[in-house]
Amino acid sequence: MGESGTVTTRQPIRIEAVRGALVDACPGIRVAGVRPLDAGYTSRQWVADTDEGPLLIKTPVRDTDPEHLRRLVATTRRAAEGGVPVVRYRAFVARSAVLDAPLLVQEYQDGTPADEAWEAMDTAERRTFTRDLGHLVGRVHACSGPWFGDVLGTERHPDVHTFLHALTDSLLAQAPDDLTSVGRDHLSRAVHRAVDAVSPAAVPSLTHGDLWRQNVVLRGGRIACLLDFEHGRYADRFLDFGKLDEHVFAGFAEGRAAFLAAYDEVCPLPDDWEERVRLGHVLHALSMSVYFLRWTPKWAPQYVHELEEWLANR
C-alpha cells in the first residue's frame, strides 16, 4: 500500500538476478536452485538450495534503509546471547548492485509457523505452546540493555519515562487530529499521564516488537525458532504484551495463566506489571492505528475503538 492507502505494485525480480545477488554476497557459494517464498509483508524472500544448506534471501520492500537490517541482525544476535533460538546470518549487503536494494542472507528455518499449526492443535497442545512461549519471551526480556532505544545505540534514552514519552510523541505525530472523538491533544495528555505512572525503576529489556504466532516456528510440535526481530529494541518489556494479548490470548484466554507462570520463572513479574501491560496495550493500539491508516485503512478502526474504550475508562 502507498501512503494514500492504494496498493503499490511490486515489480517482478527474475530468479537469475536473485541467484546473482546471492553469489555476489557469498563468494564461492554453489547454488543448485532458487525459489520464491510467499512469506512476510514487508520484504521479498527466496529460498536457495546451496552447498551450505538451504538459505533464505531477503530484501526489504517498505523500509529500504540498510540500517533497518543492521538493527535486525544486531537485535537477533543479542537475543541469541540470551539463549533464545534464532536464525543465524550468512551475509548482509547494504546495497546489492544486482537488486538495487539492501540484501540479507540467513539460514532457512524449516518448520511450520505456529499460526498455520494453531487450528489443528488441541487444548493441551495449545497450553504447551503458551507455556513454552512464556519461557522464550522471558529469555528475550531477561536480556538487559545499557539504554532505552535501538540495540546499535543510534537512539538512546537514559530512563523509561524519557523513552516512553518520546515513543508516545513519535506515534502521535503520525496520527490525524481526529484519530479519536476527543481529539489528539486529549489523547496525548492521557497517554503521557499513564507514562508518568510507570515506575522509574523499570530497566531497559530487549523486546521483540512483533510477537505473534506467525513469527514462531515449530518442529515436532515444539518451538524451534523465534523469527523477525526487525522491530526489536531495548524498551519497557511490557510493550511486547500488546501484540501477544491480541494475537495469542484474545482467542485462547485460558493459555495466558500458563504463559505468565512460565514467563515469571525466567523473568520475574514486578508489582506494577499489570498497569504496564495496560499501557503496552494502549501504545500498541496507537501504533497499529497509525500503521494501518497508512497501509491498510480498513483495519484501523478496531484499534481506534480500543483507544476510545481506554479513554472512556480513565
Q: What confidence tier does 42 reach under pLDDT thresholds 50, 70, 90?
A: confident
Rounded to 5 degrees, what are φ and ψ at 226? -110, 125
Return the SS3 of 288.
Answer: helix
Q: What is the pLDDT of residues 274-311, one digit of tens each?
A: 999 999 999 999 999 999 999 899 999 999 999 999 99
Given the C-alpha cell 522471558, which residue does it identify? Answer: 138
Q: How far, in Å, CA of 208 to CA of 240, rounded?
A: 7
* Averaged pLDDT, 196-218: 97
254: pLDDT strictly greater than 70: yes
| DSSP states of 94-153 | EEETTTTEEEEEEE---SEEHHHHGGG--HHHHHHHHHHHHHHHHHHHTSB-SSBB-TTS
Residue of 39 and 299 predicted with greater confidence: 299
Ordered structural domains, the chain, with CATH: 15-107 (3.30.200.20), 112-312 (3.90.1200.10)
In the DSSP assignment, the letter for residue 11 is: P
- C-alpha cell at position 230: 526487525
Q: What is the pLDDT of residue 38?
A: 80
2: pLDDT strictly greater than 80: no
Residue of 23 and 8 predicted with greater confidence: 23
Cβ-proximal residues to 253 (8 Å cutoff; 6+ apart), any chain? none
Q: What is the pLDDT of residues 105-132, one digit of tens each?
A: 999 998 999 999 999 999 999 999 999 9
Q: What is the pLDDT of residue 67?
A: 93
Return the SS3 of 303.
Answer: helix
Burial class (CB in 10 A: 0-12, 13-18, 19+), 183: exposed
Q: What is the pLDDT of residue 39?
A: 65
**What is the crossing angle of helices 184-196 and 273-295, to 10°?**
150
Q: What is the pLDDT of residues 211-247, one digit of tens each?
A: 999 999 999 999 999 999 999 999 999 999 999 999 9
Least confident interval from 3-17, 79-93, 213-227: 3-17
